[in-house]
Structure 1
Amino acid sequence: MKKYIILILVLLYVQSVRAQEIVQGNVTDIGGHPVPAAIIKTIDVFTKKTLNFCQTDDKGNFTITAKEGTILRISAMSYKSQELKIVKSMPKQYITLEEDTKMLSEITVKAKPVQLSGDTIKYLLNTYAKPNDRTLSDVLARVPGFEVNKENGEIQYEGKTISNFYIEGMNMMDGKYGLATKSLPKDDVATVEVMKHHQPIRVLDDFTYSDDNAINVKMKKGAKAHWMTTFSGSLGLKTHGGLWKFETFAMRLKPNFQTILTYKTNNIGDNIRREADDLLSFDELHSPLTALLSLPSPSPLLLRGRSLFNRSHAISLNALQRINENSQISAQVTYTNNREEATSLRQSYYYMNSGVKAVETSKQFVENSNNLFAKIKYENNASNHYLKNEFSGNFSWNKQCLNEQGTNPHTMLGNLPIYTLKDNFSIMKKYGKRLVTFESKNILELRPQQMYVDSSAQSINQHYYETNTDISGSFKLGKFVVSGKAGVNAGIHSFSSNLVGVPDSLGLLIGKSSFTFAKIYINPDIEYIIKDFEFTLSSDISYNHYKYSLDNVHYKFLFSPNFHLRWKVTARWKCFADASINTIQINAAQFYPTVVLQDYQYMNKGFADYHLSKEKNMGLGFTYNDALGGTSLRLRLTRAFGKSPYISTQDYIGNYIVESLTPGNTKYNSWSILFTGSQSIPFIKGILNVRTLYDVMNSHIIQNGKQMPYDRKNFRLTSSIDIGLIKKVDFTYKLTYSFNQMKMPMLGRTSNLNSWKHEGKVVIPLCKTLNLESLTEYYHNEVAQKKFKDIFFQDFSLKFKVKYFDFSLALNNVFNKKNYGYGFNNTFSSSFSNQDIRGRELMISFYYKP
């Protein structure tokens, strides 16, 4: 009997196994991108019960065991479900899921505020917003993966600055998008889309791999039907005088027209000038001219608003008109007027082979600046061609005054205007699998500047013009894209200087010169792309002609190869490696015959030489991004080796420090580690952000005729956590630590500087419409070797919110702190400063959004 029972069981088992089918499949979206974490279920036809289930992997693959006749259901968040019937000998299934917008709106609002669609990640903004947030930048600062610079509105995603900023698919702001991020009302924004591997030029889609991130801001429907406006203002009292702040913002969005108008003014320490910064301009020519004249002013931005004594005005106009589906014209005009004051007491130590020189000064600094920027741009961006012409002007009028008392009293005045014109033209045309491009870029910069130091006067006039014209072509050859560029780059730097009131023994005081250069170059490039790998090998080959007006003609042949490798390990993990050998171009701005009085103490001396510096760079890293899980990580390790035919010199001559270059090999090496990460923490309704940077550099200079090696180390850690565990109570803690070391082996000295900053912010609801906000800051700074200064700030504000209005009453710097101490290292010098800061202030403010 027992044998029969076993036989029956075996037969039943075999029959059951025969009825089972092993089903394999691959799930993608309509764009062909894999859908990870899709749910695969087998369901009984009659009972509707789930019999088995699994999930797709990062490449969209799955394997599941199912019975013949049952139903296979495939589902994923934000996609329509599909069902298949299991049949005998079922082949591998290739399943394409369609987007389900209704499901998205239901799930996104109630559950996860993120939608994945290929290389686009959509964030529902309101799910991250807090009651006291007003602008887009306020909310983005707490979204995993994002970093927002509160000063200029710059946005980074996964550690990289975004390449393009769109509003409803149109790029009105170009690189100056800080005005938008710091002004767009968060209540009018529906979603923020991050477009990874974004290529803004459509004709390049088939020819070039892009590793850039772009952002597209989608507005709510109600925000597109009328003018969006906001108004805010503040009045207050300080120890001596009154306080004010007023801002207005207006935006109009139509299907083919966009415009933004802003006006801002304040004297409460808000640096609105930074909002007009050009955050990304990688495709333009840049002038090599640097600030030869520069007053040694206290840093007015050290504590942002607490240390900035200002009177600022800024007005901007941005407009974009879409002509047709492919073409548009845009215009930008920004004007800023700014007056800043700063006062400090500084103690500096200059480390020399003959001993240490100590200088103590009190500084009173005033700067008046005016800046006008205007740009007009036409763009035609079609699938088979691209045309762009962009003309811009940037005009700066800057006057500075510095009065120093102490060891060496001085009075300095500077008139430092800079006028810049640029024009960028490009046209691309696609012919089947071939692409031809013509580009012409031009820049003109003028710097007629003067500076007066006691009885000395320095006048400099610099003109710089450069043009770069090239033609390039690309063609596809299977998995390869072969490209090449050939062009001419030429420029001229004219220089004249007149210095009076200093000893002739320092060098030539009056003189003029010109330096011209011309370069004929080719840039071959080969790119190989398969499903998960992108390999690029490129080089810069050029023949250069140099002519300095005080020397003979010189020629150089240069070659610089570059290598890049990117590997998409999974949908979330990506690795990259790059290496380059660069021969660094001669700097036209270093060729001038005279000494230049930079300030009351430092002098610069021109250097005419044609030897070239070489540098080898290697980089490794990875990124990990799980938008649904709220995780974003980026790590990059960089190693650099350099060899320069020059050595920096530093000579102490009387009361002056003369800096220049001298022939001689200088080897240096450096390495750096950059890590950024953010992680949402659901159980405390919070987010954790971490950013670290560590770099090391070894080099040397010649000081008073003797070679002096020095080593530098820098470490900076920034971490913050935002917690919203208690309903309507928001708590944020931020820690910033920095370490800077300068080691001088020949002198047996090391200068270590440490600083800590703790910042805590809490928002507590007192009733439905009234909140209490508290901000606490604690600084622990090294102000002398192993001596620290502690400073504690406390701010309070009451915020009352009704339908269209926000009102607030703020008391800042409750303990009326008046100065702030810090230290910093320069090459063979250390300085410790006590800077005046804003005292106690009482402000009443309103914010109105119709």
Structure 2
Amino acid sequence: MKKYITLCLLILLVQSISAQRIVEGVITDVGGRPVSAAIIKTVDATTKKTLHFCQTDTKGKFTITAQEGNILSISAISYKKQELKVTMDMPAQHITLEEDTKTLSEITVKAKPIKIKGDTIQYLLTTYKKEGDRTLADVLARVPGFDVNKENGEIQYEGKSISNFYIEGMNLMGGKYGLATKSLPQEDVATVEVMKHHQPIRVLDDFTYTDDNAINIRMKQGAKARWMTTYSGGIGLKSHGGLWNYETFAMRLKPSFQTILTYKTNNIGKNIRRETDNLLSFNELQSPLSAMLSLPSPSPLLLKGRSLFNRTHVVSLNALQRIDENSQVNVQITFVNDRNEATSLRHSDFYTNSGIKTIENRKQYLEKSNDLFAKIKYENNAKNHYLKNELSGDFSWNKQWLNEQGTQPHKMMGNLPIYTLKDNFSIMKKYGKRLITLQSKNIMDVRPQQLYVDSLVQSINQHYYETNTDVSGSLRIGRFILSGEIGVNAGEHRFTSDLVGVPDSIGLLMGKSSFAFASFYTNPSIEYTVKDFNFTLSGDMSYNHYKYSLDNGQSKFLFSPNLQIRWKATATWTFSANASINTMQINAAQFYPTLVLQDYQYMNKGLADYNLSKEKSVGIGVAYSDALKGTSIRLRITKSFGTSPYTSTQDFVGNYIVESLTSGDTKYNSWNMFLMGSQGIGFLKGKLNVKALYNAMNSYMVQNSQQMPYDTKNLKITSNLDIGLIKGVDLAYKLTYGFHQMKMPAFGKTSNLNSWKHEGSLRIPLCKVLSLETLTEYYHNEIAQKEFKDMFFQDFTLIFKAKHFDLSLAWNNVFNNKSYSYGINNTLSSSFSNQDIRGRELMLSFYYKP
């Protein structure tokens, strides 16, 4: 009998063991980010008893024992619970958790303003919003650690520009996220997540260390279930004519689809064109062509809205369709129609070895432009592979007019179109601890341009083509990551120029040429991580062949080693150091045979020379970050010194200044320093920001065959304080100081220019639905040596706020100031400008959000 019982027990045990299996997988949120500390349990389907449990690691991975028929239960804070049935042939699982709307609503009421989970910092946006805030940019600018550019919407976190901008985990906007920053209604945003050390390509997680920061915008649940729309606009009066402003924004969010539509127009000096700037380059090829034809116009953006006389229209369409869990298609179209004008009086002194040459002209400038940008991108971003193909076109039709009266009266007109096409292809595949990558990048830049100066005509046609294809691989061996890249880079620059109306004696006026290059390169690197230290040693090596159509060409070998060290000393302190020796590639755009008329005064002359510039640099960095205390500090100091095989030349020939390069070593050295500090002030719902930039450089140029040394120093310090004094009363103050120095030993002269700007704003509630905003600006600018100009501006805005709409009445530039004065130091020259600005204006506006 005992034998039978023992046999039955053995049979049951064997069956139980045979039914058991190991279930493994990874858990992520809807944005593809790993969910750490999620609870995984196996539950008996009949008794509901928990059999086994485990937690996911920092990468969202788990392994658990289960039997066929068990229930696999997955739960995590702030996410909906999921259950799966265990099967006999159950493969590795990739489980996506959705946010728990009930939990999110509780967070809105009870959670702390800042939560930290691993490398993700979550900011509760409602904690920082104040009366009058409308967009994400308005509130984010007040969050400790963040800095938002008010013009183009660019976001910096702890002194560094963000690397990616996501909305609900999807990259809808790409590099043109400024439109979203400046348009997303803040009341629909729940939280802003900062993802530190963010790697957007999932397959690179185990192979590449990154210090980049990305942000993800989490919308409130109600905003995901409908179209989000806002409407704002207004009409007003100015000295000569009327004012208008209108903006509409529409957004739809679905689990697999996102779209943003905007239309904006105004003539009130609001620079909506900057919101379409491409703020992220994504390691694309960039054209080396510069603006060879450029009118010396007053700056329409000098004083931001006060100096911009514009008529602007912007239309944008952004759509993203998620095909499956890993792949998506993205389409972007942006069109800008812009007209702006500026008027100024400029006094310029040019320091020469034969004395000071002075020009004083009254400038009247007009620019009309149409810009079209279109992009389509397919991306498949899986854990073991990556595929991307992106095609974009950027087309600009730009015309400029400049009329100058004074010492040298001239009339100029420039027709300056630029057409750029890009294609970027990338494929990556992971094989265990190995990674193989193939990338192909291509660019075409075409610039058929003309400049008319009185009776002179300058025509120039440039075509630039470049392609870059490389294969790379990575291998992880313990604490080491060995990487290598091999590629081919080739391009061609075609140049045609014809200058009519200038005497032939000044130089070659008509001609054409081409410059081609081919480069075979490799970039090996080794990365070693031990405890809190990370070391990366790399070296760019390339064999290059250059061929200019007017000579026999040359070949060069380039080598540029680089060492980077990073030490994560504590949870809050990080130290870094780097050293590099860079050999610069030859600039294809410097090879052309003719003189090119840049404007009525300056001419440029090409140089066909194959010598290489070399630069050595060392840098150290310190960063402190404590998000819970709202404290962040970043300091970076870099010392650079190098030798250029060329010397800049400047020759005064008749009424023209001819600028070029000549063979001959130029040694230079420079210091650069960047300091940023941010401190949140919790009890005042505010923050204090300080930023400093310093640059010093020693160099020289050849002027009329004589060497002219010059030293420059530049310092800019910005400090701003934003606080809430009492409920409903908000105060902001910003101080900006600038110092520019140019020493010219050959002339025994030093030009120092100091500038101060004080800007303060105050919001005061008058009653429950009515409030008053004031903006005060004071400028103290040095326009000549120890000669200062003071300017004072005052704006008032009365705001009526209801449930779904606001009405405001703005009175800008109350004292009706008509000009702004400032000074500038350039290389061996200095100038003073008095620029016209917008006078007194009255504007009635509305804002409506259904």
TM bucket (normalised to shorter chain) is 0.7 to 0.9
| Paired position in structure 2 for 1:437 | 437
| Paired position in structure 1 for 2:48 | none
SS at match of 1:610: coil
Structure 2 residue identity aligned to 1:265: T
Distance in 2 between residues matched to 1:100 and 1:262, nearest whole Å: 30
| Paired position in structure 1 for 2:21 | none
Q: Is the 8 A contact 2:108 2:190 kept in 1?
A: no
Q: Give matches, 1:12-411, under 5 Å.
A: 31=36, 109-110=109-110, 112-411=112-411
Deviations 1:731-764 (A, max 9, x none): 0010001000111011101111111000010000
| Paired position in structure 2 for 1:471 | 471
| Paired position in structure 1 for 2:692 | 692
Question: 1:531, CA displacement in angstroms?
Answer: 3.2
Q: Mark the CA change 1:104 to 1:374 in structure 2 (over 3 Å): closer, same or farther.
A: closer
SS at match of 1:746: coil
SS at match of 2:700: strand
| Paired position in structure 2 for 1:739 | 739
Q: Give matches, 1:271-670, under 5 Å.
A: 271-670=271-670
Q: Is the 8 A contact 2:640 2:669 kept in 1?
A: yes
Distance in 1 between residues matched to 2:118 and 2:570, nearest whole Å: 13
SS at match of 1:222: helix
Deviations 1:30-64 (A, max 9, x none): 8489xxxxxxxxxxxxxxxxxxxxxxxxxxxxxxx
Q: Is the 8 A contact 2:196 2:213 kept in 1?
A: yes
Deviations 1:110-139 (A, max 9, x none): 574000001000000011001111000011
SS at match of 1:725: strand
Distance in 2 between residues matched to 1:219 and 1:103, nearest whole Å: 14
| Paired position in structure 2 for 1:812 | 812
Distance in 2 between residues matched to 1:668 and 1:521, nearest whole Å: 28
Deviations 1:88-123 (A, max 9, x none): xxxxxxxxxxx9999997677457400000100000
Q: Mark the CA change 1:102 to 1:563 in structure 2 (over 3 Å): closer, same or farther.
A: farther
Distance in 2 between residues matched to 1:150 and 1:170, nearest whole Å: 24
Q: Is the 8 A contact 1:108 1:114 kept in 2?
A: no
**Identity, % of aligned positions:** 74
SS at match of 1:724: strand
**Greater displacement, 787-796 / 107-116:** 107-116
Question: 1:407, CA displacement in angstroms?
Answer: 0.2
Distance in 1 between residues matched to 2:338 and 2:103, nearest whole Å: 51
Structure 2 residue identity aligned to 1:128: Y
Deviations 1:258-314 (A, max 9, x none): 000000000000111111111010410000000000000001001110000000000
Question: 1:545, CA displacement in angstroms?
Answer: 0.3
Question: 1:553, CA displacement in angstroms?
Answer: 2.2
Deviations 1:643-694 (A, max 9, x none): 0010000001111000000011100000111011110123433210100001
The count of residues paired between Structure 1 and Structure 2 equals 760
Distance in 1 between residues matched to 2:489 and 2:276, nearest whole Å: 30
Q: Is the 8 A contact 1:688 1:719 kept in 2?
A: yes
Is 1:749 aligned to residue 749 of structure 2? yes
Distance in 2 between residues matched to 1:747 and 1:423, nearest whole Å: 51
SS at match of 2:317: strand
Structure 2 residue identity aligned to 1:340: N
SS at match of 2:505: helix
Structure 1 residue identity aligned to 2:191: T
Distance in 2 between residues matched to 1:104 and 1:168, nearest whole Å: 14
Q: Is the 8 A contact 2:155 2:161 kept in 1?
A: yes
Question: 1:723, CA displacement in angstroms?
Answer: 1.6
Q: Mark the CA change 1:538 to 1:665 in structure 2 (over 3 Å): closer, same or farther.
A: same
Question: 1:578, CA displacement in angstroms?
Answer: 1.0
Structure 1 residue identity aligned to 2:777: E
Structure 2 residue identity aligned to 1:209: Y
Structure 2: gaps of 5 or more residues? 1-33, 39-76, 80-98
Structure 2 residue identity aligned to 1:463: H
Distance in 2 between residues matched to 1:693 and 1:103, nearest whole Å: 44
Q: Is the 8 A contact 1:104 1:115 kept in 2?
A: no
Distance in 2 between residues matched to 1:294 and 1:538, nearest whole Å: 39
Structure 1 residue identity aligned to 2:366: V
Distance in 1 between residues matched to 2:380 and 2:282, nearest whole Å: 20
Distance in 1 between residues matched to 2:848 and 2:496, nearest whole Å: 54
Question: 1:506, CA displacement in angstroms?
Answer: 1.7
Question: 1:147, CA displacement in angstroms?
Answer: 0.6
Structure 2 residue identity aligned to 1:182: K
Distance in 1 between residues matched to 2:558 and 2:282, nearest whole Å: 22
Q: Is the 8 A contact 1:686 1:725 kept in 2?
A: no
Deviations 1:337-392 (A, max 9, x none): 00000000010000111111111000000000000000000000000100000000
| Paired position in structure 1 for 2:7 | none
SS at match of 2:176: coil
Question: 1:519, CA displacement in angstroms?
Answer: 0.2
Deviations 1:229-264 (A, max 9, x none): 000001000000000000000000000000000000
Question: 1:78, CA displacement in angstroms?
Answer: 10
Q: Is the 8 A contact 1:109 1:127 kept in 2?
A: no
| Paired position in structure 1 for 2:702 | 702
Distance in 2 between residues matched to 1:580 and 1:188, nearest whole Å: 46
| Paired position in structure 2 for 1:69 | none
Distance in 2 between residues matched to 1:122 and 1:826, nearest whole Å: 45
| Paired position in structure 2 for 1:42 | none
Q: Is the 8 A contact 1:112 1:628 kept in 2?
A: no
Distance in 2 between residues matched to 1:194 and 1:105, nearest whole Å: 20
Distance in 1 between residues matched to 2:35 and 2:776, nearest whole Å: 50
Q: Is the 8 A contact 2:817 2:837 kept in 1?
A: yes
Q: Mark the CA change 1:827 to 1:397 in structure 2 (over 3 Å): closer, same or farther.
A: same
SS at match of 2:174: coil
Structure 1 residue identity aligned to 2:301: L
Structure 1 residue identity aligned to 2:380: N
Q: Is the 8 A contact 2:101 2:221 kept in 1?
A: no
SS at match of 2:180: helix
Question: 1:559, CA displacement in angstroms?
Answer: 0.4
Structure 2 residue identity aligned to 1:416: L
Q: Is the 8 A contact 1:686 1:723 kept in 2?
A: yes
Distance in 2 between residues matched to 1:106 and 1:202, nearest whole Å: 32
After superposing on structure 2, the runs of 4+ consecutive aligned residues of structure 1 that deviate more than 4 Å are: 29-33, 99-111
Question: 1:530, CA displacement in angstroms?
Answer: 2.7
Distance in 1 between residues matched to 2:226 and 2:191, nearest whole Å: 19
Structure 2 residue identity aligned to 1:446: V
| Paired position in structure 1 for 2:837 | 837
Distance in 1 between residues matched to 2:439 and 2:328, nearest whole Å: 19
SS at match of 1:203: helix
Structure 2 residue identity aligned to 1:693: L
Distance in 2 between residues matched to 1:606 and 1:32, nearest whole Å: 62
Distance in 2 between residues matched to 1:790 and 1:479, nearest whole Å: 61
SS at match of 1:286: coil
SS at match of 1:226: coil
Deviations 1:501-524 (A, max 9, x none): 112122100000000000000100
Distance in 1 between residues matched to 2:690 and 2:328, nearest whole Å: 40
Distance in 2 between residues matched to 1:30 and 1:416, nearest whole Å: 51
